[in-house]
Amino acid sequence: MFESLAEHGQQPRAMVVACADSRVDPGMIFDAGPGELFIVRNIAALVPPYAPDGAYHGTSAALEFGVRVLEVRDLVVLGHGLCGGVRGLLHGVPDTARDFVASWIAIAASVRPLALACDSPEEQQLRGEHEVVKLSLTNLRRFPWIAEREAAGHLTLHGAHFDVRTGLLALLGDNGQFAAAG
């Protein structure tokens, strides 16, 4: 298999933006083997604003390569339950995570009041996880070459949420709600 992948190069059909959380393995969740998914993982599966300014944009660089060079047909933002990044967004990050994590999750600062308006801590956390996926999708659509491909029907964007307690996947529907996958 690896000889074939080396000889023919990678031609992944889909790209996934996922969280770095060790419990959330996109390959396992989507039952995909080597060569099938182009994956970038970061804190809270966040997509930063489109900002081609010469700074060290690791996530945006992966998006550029996956979308423009590999020309993936599907692009999935995969949030998850019990996300520590979302917890930090809602309740503050640990003192030892202030050099980079605090400013990174501030990308999703607009999600905070929406989530904290929910009644229980569990609802706040889940709403925050869902809204972060939606925010990442909104930011993806501000990358001009993603918007162009989506408008032309060459790329489809998806939102998903993986519950690490149950192993169940929920998909974001056109109505803005997450519902259990098939």
Residue ranges binding Zn ion (CB under 5 A): 19, 21, 83, 85
Query: What is the closest distance, in whole angstroms, from the C-beta atom of residue 73 to Zn ion in the complex?
Result: 26
Smallest CA-to-CA distance from 128 within 142, 104, 108, 157 is with: 108
Query: What is the closest distance, in whole angstroms, from the C-beta atom of residue 88 to Zn ion in the complex?
Result: 9
Nearer to Zn ion, 43 or 146 (CB): 43
Nearer to Zn ion, 129 or 140 (CB): 129
Nearer to Zn ion, 6 or 28 (CB): 28
19 burial (CB, 10 Å; 0-12 / 13-18 / 19+) is buried
Query: What is the closest distance, in whole angstroms, from the C-beta atom of residue 44 to Zn ion in the complex?
Result: 5
164 burial (CB, 10 Å; 0-12 / 13-18 / 19+) is middle
Query: What is the closest distance, in whole angstroms, from the C-beta atom of residue 98 to Zn ion in the complex?
Result: 18
- Cβ atoms of 27 and 33 within 8 Å: the answer is yes
